[in-house]
Amino acid sequence: MSQQAETLDIERIRADFPILEREFDGTQLVYLDNAATTQTPEPVVETITEYYRKYNANVHRGIHQLSQEASIAYEEAHDRVAEFIGAAGREEIVFTKNTTESVNLVAYAWGLNELGPGDEVVLTEMEHHASLVTWQQIAKRTGATCKYIPITDEGRLDMEAAEELITDDTEMVSVVHVSNTLGTINPVSELAAIAHDHDSYVFVDAAQSVPNRPVDVAEIDADFLAFSGHKMAGPTGIGVLYGKEHILEGMEPYLYGGEMILKVTFEDSKWNELPWKYEAGTPVICQGIALAKACDYLDEIGMENIEQHESELAEYAYDRLTAEGDVEVYGPPGDDRGGLVAFNLESVHAHDLSSILNDSAVAIRAGDHCTQPLHDVLGTAASARASFYIYNTKAEIDKLIEAVDDARQLFA
């Protein structure tokens, strides 16, 4: 283990997550479903409680003290998230419900107005449904065409194919940063450079990267980037859309109503300044404030440390699982992947495996992980997935392996 990872005090971190102490029939929970939702630490829970106990009020609409306090905290939350991902300022940070809504915002606000017959949207075979389905349906409405960068046998993007697929007809390249099924870490900066050479925009789905590794939107040169709070020690119901200011300024709103307006007459309306232009109605006030606290919490641990810890867990799990012989693991080698491992045990359906593991208090995900087309490419209907976060340990992975062994015996 590297010196950098050794600086993490996992037991101290675990103390911030009392849910990890839960037991089922006398067996302590092993929570390995973090790619779906991470657990929430006490400082974030306390922030939520403090909001509702002390200054619960709507923002930007009241002169009274509670509204002023809520408005300041909510606006500063945008500043904090901007800092966390290297954005220029709050103008580039729109709060949404989740990554899915962030993708839809751009697809509707930009895609419906800018795409047409002859235009192309380039995605990858490993895209989450949030991206794939959204652009697929927008293309159907506009007459545009979707093309898909294939994956190699090792589960990486075929970059030679990418250079051929991204052309002057490409208007948008939408790519997942870290695959939620394969664990593949995609070269998003390289893809952005290729796309920009063809005057195309780039949308990065960072739902599986912002929570567990340093992400700098300026360094990537992403035009848009999205992620969710509930995958990074934050609350549910909060997502983030980053967009370059000049692009967001030129787009039309996705939702209309209160908050997003500056001036309304019976004949027309003028939109509010960024980012409020895209946050119609009462926004996700408490969730946004709590997400800012989650950013503080993760930065105190250190994003480089989190990345290193997850990488070591992923490599350890990959090695343990592949050594089983009758387990197929999907994606790149263990020393070059994000903090998750999707796999199948021979002759045991992923759903059955997940159920048996649940009997041992080991929580994993089973299914297609919202990547049905990718599973078609892999030649399997479903897979089991163990995913890790800052509070997981190698001992928990050992318990996963023991539970897999129990399942093997049961189906022998």
The per-residue pLDDT string of the chain (412 residues; one tens digit each, 9 = 90 and over) reads 333 444 789 999 999 999 999 999 999 999 999 999 999 999 999 999 999 999 999 999 889 999 999 999 999 999 999 999 999 999 999 999 999 999 999 999 999 999 999 999 999 999 999 999 999 999 999 999 999 999 999 999 999 999 999 999 999 999 999 999 999 999 999 999 999 999 999 999 999 999 999 999 999 999 999 999 999 999 999 999 999 999 999 999 999 999 999 999 999 999 999 999 999 999 999 999 999 999 999 999 999 999 999 999 999 999 999 999 999 999 999 999 999 999 999 999 999 999 999 999 999 999 999 999 999 999 999 999 999 999 999 999 999 999 999 999 998 7
* Phi, psi angles (nearest 5°) of residue 407: -65, -40
What are the domain boundaries of the chain?
3-31+302-411, 45-300
> Residues of 208-247 as b/e, b for ≥16 C-beta within 10 angstroms?
bbbbbbebebeebbbbbbbbbbbbbbbbebbbbbbbbeee
Per-residue burial over 367-376, b = 16 or more CB atoms within 10 Å of its CB, e = otherwise? bbbbbebbbe
Q: Which residues on neighbouring strands pair with residue 404, listed in sequence order?
A: none
Q: Which residue has the tokens 């893809």?
A: 191
At the topology level of CATH, where does 3-31+302-411 sit? Aspartate Aminotransferase, domain 1 (3.90.1150)
Active site residues: 370
Query: Which pair of tokens denotes residue 62?
Result: 């009241």
Q: Count of residues for the chain?
A: 412
Angle 68-71-76 (CA atoms, 0-180°, nearest 5)? 125
HEC profile for 104-157? HHHHHHHHHHHCCCCCEEEEECCCCHHHHHHHHHHHHHHCCEEEEECECCCCCE
Tell me how far CA of residue 123 lies from CA of 99, 101, 133, 321, 352, in angstroms. 16, 18, 11, 30, 32
| Residue 124 Ramachandran class (φ > 0 left, ψ -120 to 50 alpha, else beta) | beta
CATH of 45-300, one of 3.40.50.300, 2.30.300.10, 3.40.50.1820, 3.40.640.10: 3.40.640.10
Please tell me the distance from the alpha carbon of residue 228 to that of residue 34, in angstroms, as a whole number: 12
CA atoms lying within 13 Å on the CB side of residue 193: 6
Contact 323, 176 (CB under 8 A): no
Burial-class residue 161 by CB neighbours within 10 Å (0-12, 13-18, 19+): middle
